[in-house]
Structure 1
Amino acid sequence: MDDIDSEIIRSLVRNSRITLSQMSKEINVPDATISNRLKKLEKSVIKQYTLLVDPDEMGLKVTAIIIIQTESEKHENVKNELSKLEEVSEVYSVSGEYDILIKVWAHSIEELNEIMNSKVRSVDGVEDLTEMIVMERVKEGVIPPI
């Protein structure tokens, strides 16, 4: 990835609906170059085009970060099963005292409690967990810095 590719990515991060013509003017590179590079980036760097919504406007008032200890032989099962839950937006395998970190969205504390008890704790291999309720979203991003 060179500087032009990075500029294309930055442009898409700022506005994923930008036209090739607009991007061409913004980056000062011909449309054809943008088009060719974008096709290459879509095969390697760009995994998917998606939508970023405002959780509050969607009624998702509660966000929780949960750290989970797993039975070591069931670690793979736990991370795979947690990845299937629609309320779970992120799953990370981590080092340290805990094995997995997940981010969960809910409409209320009661719904979060239901998700935790009926879905997360019921996954075979979950040994222990600690829930942290997010009090304020200070910065949330979808990609690392380019």
Structure 2
Amino acid sequence: MNETLSIDEIDRKIIGHLRRNGRSTNQQIAESLDLTAATVSGRIRRMEQSDKLNVVAVSDFAAHGMDVLIQIAVEVDGRASSDVAEELAALPEVFAVFLVTGRHNIDVLLALREYGELPELMIDKLSKVRGVRTMRPSIVLDVIKYQFESGPQVSGGGA
């Protein structure tokens, strides 16, 4: 649908509630905001259809045996950075790709089971993507903060 949608204070409160507990039922949200469950359901559906809201589950990498996180700075040459980024994003080990400014063109984030997978991945997959000029990997030593609910906040998100 993707129609233009104006987010009002009630929508912001619904979003705030979902940020705190994405498993909340429409009834629970409705009770906390003094609304009906049908109103909450309709507003959530409207925001989803307008691409203003996407409720997702986030899992812990370590819970899936992914104990190594790596950031790779990629310089591109001879091809559009966006095309290279799209091809890199298609690799199953890659969980995020960003077009960036600065000394390199693309940041790639990988999740691997063990360090031993890195050489093969870089030599046999990443370096074979046409347009990749250089790659500078950085191994994540410790995750200080990894919280999706800490992303961009919509003002008035309190319940």
Pick 1 or 2: higher relative contact order, CA cutoff 8 A, min separation 6. 2
Q: Is the 1:78–1:125 Cα contact (8 Å) retained in structure 2? A: yes
Runs of 4+ in 1 over 3 A off after TM superposition: none
When residues 28 and 117 of structure 1 are mapped into structure 2, their CA distance, relative to the original with a 3 A threshold, is farther
Cα drift, residue 72 of structure 1: 4.9
Aligned residues: 145
Structure 1: runs of 5+ lacking an equivalent: none
- 1:11-59 Cα offsets, whole Å, 9 max, x none, are 2222222111011112232222212211111112124x43211111211
- 1:100-138 Cα offsets, whole Å, 9 max, x none, are 011100000011222222211111100011111111111
Deviates more, 1:120-129 or 1:5-14: 5-14
1-side partners of 2:33 and 2:134: how far apart?
Answer: 50
Letter of the structure 2 residue corresponding to residue 145 of structure 1? Q
Residue number among 54, 58, 65 corresponding to 1:52 in the alignment: 58
Alignment pair present for 1:125 and 2:128: no
Cα drift, residue 141 of structure 1: 2.9
Q: Is the 1:88–1:103 Cα contact (8 Å) retained in structure 2? A: yes
| Cα RMSD after superposing both structures | 1.5
- 1:46-79 Cα offsets, whole Å, 9 max, x none, are 24x4321111121110001111100153323211
2-side partners of 1:10 and 1:115: how far apart?
Answer: 39
The match for 1:32 is 38
* Structure-2-length-normalised TM-score: 0.83
Letter of the structure 2 residue corresponding to residue 62 of structure 1? V
